[in-house]
Amino acid sequence: MLAPSRSAARVVARAVQAAPRRALSQVAARAAAPAAARPMAVASTAAASRVASRGVKTISFAGTKETVYERADFPKEKLAEIFKNDTLAVIGYGTQGMAQSLNARDNGLKVIVGVREGGHSWKKAVQDGWVPGETLFPIEEACAKGTVIMNLLSDAGQKLAWDAMRPHITQGKTLYFSHGFGVVFHDQTGIQPPKDVDVILAAPKGSGATVRSLFLEGRGINSSVAIYQDVSGQARERAFALGVAIGSGYLYETTFKQEVYSDLTGERGVLMGALQGMFLAQYEVLRAHGHSPSEAFNETVEEATQSLYPLVGANGMDWMYSNCSQTAQRGALDWAPKFHQATKPVFEQLYEAVANGSETRRTLDVNSRPDVRERLTRELKEIADSEMWQAGVEVRKLRPENQ
Ligand SMILES: NC(=O)c1ccc[n+]([C@@H]2O[C@H](COP(=O)([O-])OP(=O)(O)OC[C@H]3O[C@@H](n4cnc5c(N)ncnc54)[C@H](OP(=O)(O)O)[C@@H]3O)[C@@H](O)[C@H]2O)c1
């Protein structure tokens, strides 16, 4: 077993019980860092030298200087001034459409929502207080009324709806996305923005549910911001302002292409695809060698997500290594290069598949089929019903907070 020092683990366990999950990393950082480790955390933060003017900061990320903007740069009055002549038309009411429309509205901007009439999203928008004919419209009508068209349909939906939306994206308007997908892979999606509109992006780095909950707590999610076309000369300022309006805290500048390449790689890789693949591989090996389901799950998933990953998030991998037993340290230091060597070719393959467009082609193909929801439900049920995650259901019931 690889464990942080017992006292640190106990403090974290108490913190897990007491704290909302979202705040765990900060709580874990404060609660679990032994005195000796704290200076290291501070030192690594200090390594990012800051030159601040208002909220804008130039930060050296391990030697590479980047400009980071923050909410303080765009207080509500400034947002009101920048968008005083605008109607934001949020097209789509999935998790992002919901969060971004409600946040922008609560930030005092004029917002309308556009979705398919009578569908799942329409009903959800009505439940959230959007009023048909006043603030809720069919997609084309909302595009006609909006001056900032915020395309938050699913990425496959953006392709399917583009021909209907396109005539309403007229000179002087702003076209906004939360993903570079549609525009960067325009040869597959057909999304070629007209030449006489600003085209901008603000992509929250997290689920819409978090975009909304952080906003309601008075905080903001990290987002990427990019400009694809600046016709007005104001696109840059409006992109950052809109990023703040929809609930971002810190905003990092990128390009449409970098955003979509990194995002598709990340979610297929370490964030989800690789995570499930690695969990399963270790679990299966333990099971094949006679370990019980609970032992295999605890040693693979539970300890990772409940103890170690929050600590890695709070303090970094070096801190994690230095706060476990020497036995664990030695093994992790020896085996990390082997896993690195084994998985790097897969990541290279993944990046290549993203860059050559085969990932987006597959996404558009599968997600444009009429049975997309049923198919996804079926595939996810297979994961849910697998022995590993069924063992997880029982293990989770035994967590301290569930007793
Ligand atoms: N989810 C995230 O965490 C996340 C994070 C950052 C960025 N993004 C990006 O934000 C955008 C929106 O993502 P999301 O997850 O919020 O949305 P989503 O769940 O992928 O899409 C939902 C919306 O798309 C509509 N839709 C789907 N197909 C359609 C079609 N053929 N015609 C008209 N409407 C259609 C749905 O309407 P109905 O209910 O009527 O079907 C619903 O309103 C995407 O570009 C995504 O990549 C997402």
pLDDT value of residue 38? 26
With contact defined as beta carbons under 8 Å apart, do 286 and 269 qualify?
Answer: no
Q: Which atom of ligand 1 is nearest to the CA of 368?
A: 31
- State pLDDT tens for residues 3-62: 443 333 333 333 333 333 223 233 233 333 332 222 223 333 333 334 344 567 888 898
Mutation test residue for ligand 1: of 96, 127, 176, the one with most atoms within 8 Å of CB: 96
pLDDT value of residue 8? 38
Q: Which atom of ligand 1 is nearest to the CA of 156?
A: 28
Q: Which of 18-32, 221-235, 276-290, 349-363 has the lowest mean pLDDT?
A: 18-32
> What is the pTM assigned to this prediction?
0.85
179 catalytically annotated: yes
Pocket of ligand 1 (CB under 6 A): 92-97, 115-116, 119-121, 152-155, 157, 160-161, 178-179, 203-204, 207-208
- Of 179, 186, 289, 291, the catalytic one is 179
Q: Percentage of residues in the chain with pLDDT exceeding 70?
A: 86
List, in sequence order, every residue forming a beta bridge with 68; answer none if it has no partner: 57, 252
141/113 Cα distance (integer angstroms):
10
356/185 Cα distance (integer angstroms):
10
Domains of the chain: 57-254 (3.40.50.720), 268-402 (1.10.1040.10)
Q: How far is the CA of 154 from the centre of ligand 1 (A)?
A: 3
220/55 Cα distance (integer angstroms):
14
Residue 298: pLDDT over 60: yes
pLDDT value of residue 54? 55
Pick out the residues of the known binding site for Mg(2+).
Answer: 263, 267, 299, 303
| 186: Cβ contacts below 8 Å, ≥ 6 apart | 192
Q: Which of 95, 145, 141, 151 is nearest to 121 (CA)?
A: 95
- State pLDDT tens for residues 168-191: 999 999 999 999 999 999 999 999
| 44: Cβ contacts below 8 Å, ≥ 6 apart | 316
- State pLDDT tens for residues 209-227: 999 999 999 999 999 999 9
Residue 392: pLDDT over 60: yes
Q: How far is the CA of 97 from the centre of ligand 1 (A)?
A: 7
